[in-house]
Structure formats: C-alpha cells, structure tokens
Amino acid sequence: MSSSSSSLLSQTLKIGIVGFGTFGQFLAKTLIKQGHTITATSRTDYSQLCDQLGIWFSRDVLAFMEADNDVILICTSILSLSEVLKSMPLLSLKRQTLFVDVLSVKEHPRNVLLQVLPQEMDLLCTHPMFGPESGKNGWKDLAFMYDKVRVRDEATCSSFLHIFESEGCRMMEMSCEEHDKLAARSQFLSHAVGRILSEMGTETTSINTKSFETLVRLKESTTKDSFDLFSGLFIHNRFAQQELMNLEHSFQMVKQKLLKTMNEEQNPSKSNHGLDAS
Ligand SMILES: NC(=O)c1ccc[n+]([C@@H]2O[C@H](COP(=O)([O-])OP(=O)(O)OC[C@H]3O[C@@H](n4cnc5c(N)ncnc54)[C@H](OP(=O)(O)O)[C@@H]3O)[C@@H](O)[C@H]2O)c1
C-alpha cells in the first residue's frame, strides 16, 4: 500500500461502542491508542472506568445515539443482541452511520441488523478471531474476519478496517455463512471440548505431558469467556449442532474401538466373533 493511500485510510473516527463488557473494553484500549474518539453505552454503569479511559459514557441509549458517531460498534453478547437493538431508537439517527458488529457468530447479527437498520445505514459484519487473552501482547498475525454486507461509504469502512490492518491482523474477507461453517468446526468445537474438560474437573498434575498442558490451557482459556458467549456460539450458529453430534458420535466410535480391543485382548479365543463392545 502506498503511503498516500495508507494515510487516507488512517483518518480518525468517532466510534460509539454498544456493550462495554470484557470485549468492548478490550477493543476500546486499542481504539484510544490509535487516536479515535470513543463514546460508550451499556446495561451496567461503566462511568468510572470510562472517566479513567477518557471515554464519554451514558447508560441512556437516547443520549448515546445523539452523539455524532461515524461508526456504531456493537459488542453486546450474542444472546442479548435483539433485545439491545430493540432499545435503540435507530430511526432517529440523523446521518448515515456505519454499523459494525463483532459477535462471534455472523449470520445471526447480519440477519437481525438487516431487518432493523434503516436502509441508509451501512453494515459491516466482523469477527476478530482473538480476545483479551490471545490478543494481550498485540494483534499481529491474528485473524480478523469481515463481510461488507452493505457498504456505500467506502472511506469510513476502509478507515475502520485500517484499525485492524495497522495492528498487523490477518484480514480475512468472507461471507457470514462461510464464517459460521468454519467457526462451528473450529471455535465452537474448541469451546465445547474446553467446557467438557472443565465438567470433568481437569487440573494440572505434577507429571504433565506437553499435550496435556495444551488441554489444561484450552480448559482455562475457554472457561474465561462467559457462558452466554458459549451458548450463543451454539444457539445462533446453525452449523454448531452438527458439530456437537459429530463430537458425540466420534466419542462413541473411539470408546467402541477401545472396548473391542480390550475384549480381544482379554478373550483371544472369542475375538472376531462380533461381541457387542458398547
Ligand atoms: N471475549 C472474546 O474473546 C470475544 C472475541 C471476539 C468477539 N467477541 C464477541 O464480543 C461480544 C462481547 O463479548 P464479551 O466477551 O464481552 O462477553 P459476552 O458475555 O458475550 O457479552 C457481554 C456484553 O453483553 C452485554 N449484555 C449481556 N446481556 C445483556 C442484556 N440482557 N442486555 C444488555 N446488554 C447485555 C454486557 O453488558 P454489561 O457489561 O453492561 O452488562 C456486555 O457488554 C460477544 O458478542 C462476543 O461473541 C468476544
């Protein structure tokens, strides 16, 4: 990219964050570092924290909507999206605004936002494939998925995407559907396995192998996210249910193979006689 186009892309933006929980706060720190002007609204009162960060905050969504934002960045939980949008007087917006969501599922917010947003509003659906833990030492080489669902103001959209480009993210443009297929097979699966390990009470031992340490880390990182987030990955990704069934089926297959081998080992004379191993 030439330096002139790069400086064009890096114009500062007025960004209003809706949902100032863990992930909203995490993103805000980098947005502030880059010089963008941030306002925020949330169900919980974050005014003290926002004062420290230099962010204008109001729990009153009407007052928030009156701020003249270029971008409204939706960082609420997947499960609360529809309820939060219902509370926003979207029709009262006076100027064309770019709506961006960062939810970890993509077809659901795309469909809901296309339904409720006025026609003049642009929509960029995104999923930063990292969080406060994996992104704590910077975002270099971490994947950033996006789908320009309805973008007419290319300049504002490019400036927003530049936030992530300039931090060194791997920019992955793909459809919301493609994202949800891949994310069910990767992110949902890893969260499901992490939650299963947590149910089992998996803890570090004095003789950990490297692979076991990977499992302990998986349990720890996935259970740091809220249960709302995990259930959102399941309920609002239409591909996740199949992955859960695959996981269950594969577990049964492995179990049967083990029991069959054990039977053969313990009863060599009866092996290959079709014993039910389940
Ligand atoms: N954590 C990550 O690593 C990560 C990475 C990529 C994308 N994301 C996405 O970012 C979003 C936020 O994630 P998160 O980690 O902060 O945790 P989360 O539990 O998914 O969402 C917490 C946010 O949702 C709001 N919220 C929850 N229930 C609400 C309700 N009934 N009404 C109004 N607001 C409600 C919370 O507001 P209050 O705080 O005001 O209560 C908070 O801002 C999610 O959509 C998630 O999928 C997260």
Domain coordinates of the chain in residue numbers?
A: 9-174, 179-266
Question: Residue 132's pLDDT is what?
Answer: 94
CA-proximal residue: ligand 1, atom 31 (nearest): 80
Q: What is the pLDDT along the chain (278 residues), one digit of tens a residue?
A: 444 444 455 689 999 999 999 999 999 999 999 999 999 999 999 999 999 999 999 999 999 999 889 999 999 999 999 999 999 999 888 889 999 999 999 999 999 999 999 999 999 999 999 999 999 999 999 999 999 999 999 999 999 999 999 999 999 999 999 999 999 999 999 999 999 999 999 999 999 999 999 999 999 999 999 999 999 999 999 999 999 999 999 999 999 999 999 999 999 887 655 555 54
Ligand 1 atom showing the smallest separation from residue 101 Cα? 45
Q: Which of the listed residues 17, 18, 20, 23 should we mutate to test ligand 1's pocket, taking the one with most ligand atoms within 8 A of CB?
A: 23
Rounded CA separation 64/19 (Å): 12
The b/e string for 188-213 (b: 16+ C-beta within 10 A; e otherwise) is bbebbebbebeeeebeeeeeeeeeee
From the CA of 21, how far away is ligand 1's center (Å)?
6
- List, chain by chain if needed, residues with CB within 6 Å of any ligand 1 atom: 19-24, 42-44, 75-78, 80, 83-84, 102-104, 128, 131, 225-226, 228-229
What is the pTM assigned to this prediction?
0.93
Question: Residue 214's pLDDT is what?
Answer: 98
Superfamily in which the 9-174 domain is placed by CATH: NAD(P)-binding Rossmann-like Domain (3.40.50.720)
- The structure tokens listed for 47 are 């005014």
Question: Residue 3's pLDDT is what?
Answer: 40
From the CA of 19, how far away is ligand 1's center (Å)?
6
Per-residue H/E/C for the chain: CCHHHHHHHCCCCEEEEECCCHHHHHHHHHHHHCCCEEEEECCCCCHHHHHHHCCEECCCHHHHHHCCCCEEEECCCCCCHHHHHHCCCHHHCCCCCEEEECCCCCHHHHHHHHHHCCCCCEEEEEEECCCCCCCCCCCCCCEEEEEEEECCCHHHHHHHHHHHHCCCCEEEECCHHHHHHHHHHHHHHHHHHHHHHHHCCCCCCCCCCHHHHHHHHHHHHHHHCCHHHHHHHHHCCCCHHHHHHHHHHHHHHHHHHHHHHHHHHHCHHHCCCCCCCC
Rounded CA separation 237/181 (Å): 8
From the CA of 76, how far away is ligand 1's center (Å)?
4
From the CA of 228, how far away is ligand 1's center (Å)?
8
